Amino acid sequence: MSHANATLTPRGRLLLARCVVEQGWTLRRAAERFQTSATTAARWAGRYREQGAAGMADRPSRPHRSPRRTPTRLERRIVKVRVIRRWGPARIGFLLGVHPSTVHRVLSRYGLARLAWLDRTTGRNVRRYEHATPGDLVHLDVKKLGRIPDGGGWRIHGRAARPHIKRGQGYSFLHTALDDHSRLAYSELLDDERKETAAAFWTRAHAYFTDCGITVHRVLTDNGACYRSFDFRDALGDIAHKRTRPYRPQTNGKVERFHRTLLEEWAYASAYGSDTERAAAYPQWLHRYNHHRGHTALGGRPPASRVTNLSGQYT
């Protein structure tokens, strides 16, 4: 495909061909005039004799024949296995005796979505959404984390030492409220997930978002008992409450993905010597997430870049 300033655009090719065919220029003279080779001048002149001005357009680079292309029957079998079983290239290739790279090319040729983009239950493309302004929707969820014994757990002492480590340390409960548009997160490590705790957490989270200039209109939660309580309903007040369908955590996927990120970058990123040490590192990590860590869904910018009234933001 020629660019706009190229010498041999379709119009330039037409001028070259007419110089040779109609005006009798030699191939060498035409090639020098249009700054190309004599072979190229001969090609365009030949096409002009055969097809006229229509022959000056670009042709596709796809070959006329592809003798080594995967047979159509095998391609249909690959597509059928993908649609019915929702397997990846490696498993399909093992079943059909085809190299995974070949399976991948066939799936790409037919425009089949990646497995990461599919709902494994229905096989349909996952519908992704993002609300237009901060506060339109806030995701709430609770993540349960096992506490680290004093002196460190198996990540410090090794798995062989696990029987000697005191069991029954219990759990910490990470309550999180995450804005759908900006991905700005407010999160606290608490001792339980009871209704009173969830209601009090939302009161503090709501105050945080208000201080950031975000007016919350609706919250989305799962069907946990703490979110179905009267205490939580009273804490919401006039804010609309929406719940996910049972067994559909994908609906609350943004906060689920936030929890996966914090597990990788904070909870399990270091070998902490105690649960207190890990808890002390969480506020610093959360600040980095909100203000400094680039977010893929935001074009590499942090969540704070989408909240104009956040402290430290003047854009």
10 to each of 17, 30, 52, 54, 56, how far by Cα in Å? 11, 16, 12, 9, 5
Q: Is the pLDDT of residue 157 over 70?
A: no
Percent of the chain residues past pLDDT 70, beyond the cut: 86
259-284 pLDDT, tens digit per residue, is: 999 999 998 888 888 888 999 999 99
Q: What is the mean pLDDT of residues 285-291?
A: 94
User: How many CA atoms lie within 13 Å of 140's alpha carbon, on the beta-carbon side?
Assistant: 27
pTM: 0.61
Q: What is the mean pLDDT of residues 204-212?
A: 94
Beta strands in the chain (DSSP E): 138-146, 171-179, 185-190, 218-221, 240-243
Out of 28-32, 199-203, 212-216, 244-248, pick the least confident.
Answer: 244-248
Q: Is the pLDDT of residue 129 over 80?
A: no
In this prediction, residue 127 carries a pLDDT of: 60
Q: Is the pLDDT of residue 312 over 80?
A: no
Residue with tokens 């955590």: 249
169-183 pLDDT, tens digit per residue, is: 788 999 999 999 999
- The count of residues in the chain is 315
Pick from 152, 210, 136, 21: which is nearest to 13 by CA?
Answer: 21
State the pLDDT confidence band at 154, using cuts at 50, 70 and 90. low
In this prediction, residue 268 carries a pLDDT of: 87
- Computed over every residue of the chain, the mean pLDDT equals 86
